Amino acid sequence: MNERPDPLSPETLKADPFLHLAGKLVPGGHVLPVRVYYEDTDFSGIVYHANYLKFMERARSDHLRLIGVVQGELFGEALAEAPGFAFVVRSMDLQFLRPARIDDVLEVHTSPVEVAGASITLAQRVMRAGEVLVEGKVKVAFVAQGRARRIPDALRKAMKAAQDEAPQG
């Protein structure tokens, strides 16, 4: 297992003060803190359900960033393997358990569950102070020219390494 530097350590923040904006890697995945702003809520001050999808999307993107997958570089490599590629959400299964409210500080936990030929399945939980508010599984497919394609090797290796670090059970 490769030791990764703590993205929130003083040394890392001094080298890159904006890195902490991407959350941090934890055993088995990634955690992204998110504050609930007025714009995230409905008229009653409760987070509008679709905004959880935005929080979860940001967490998936930042998870990739912190495991070393620079999306801009991936586009270049992937274009050589599969011109015109894109990631698409294939399926989502969400359970809304408790509401979040304006000014809450949430954590979005992301853990890889399966890395298949053309898809990645991730478990995600939105939490407040240890309480699960929303949980779900998201399957993301890799497509090019309108068809499912094998995930590029660089991304496959990075996701498999993160999956191997995930707690089993």
Give pLDDT tens digits for 38-52.
999 999 999 999 999
Q: Which CATH architecture has domain 22-164?
A: Roll (3.10)
Q: Is 40 a catalytic residue?
A: no
Provide the pLDDT for residue 156: 79
Of 42, 103, 153, 164, which is the active-site residue?
42
Give pLDDT tens digits for 133-158.
999 999 999 887 788 888 878 777 87
Residues 6+ apart with CB under 8 A from 98: 128, 131, 132, 133
- Average pLDDT in the chain: 82
Provide the pLDDT for residue 45: 93
The pTM is what? 0.80
Nearest Cα neighbor of 22 from 66, 67, 55 is: 66
Strands (E), the chain: 24-26, 29-35, 85-96, 105-115, 119-128, 131-144, 147-148
Dihedral (CA of 116, 93, 57, 144) sign: positive
Provide the pLDDT for residue 97: 98
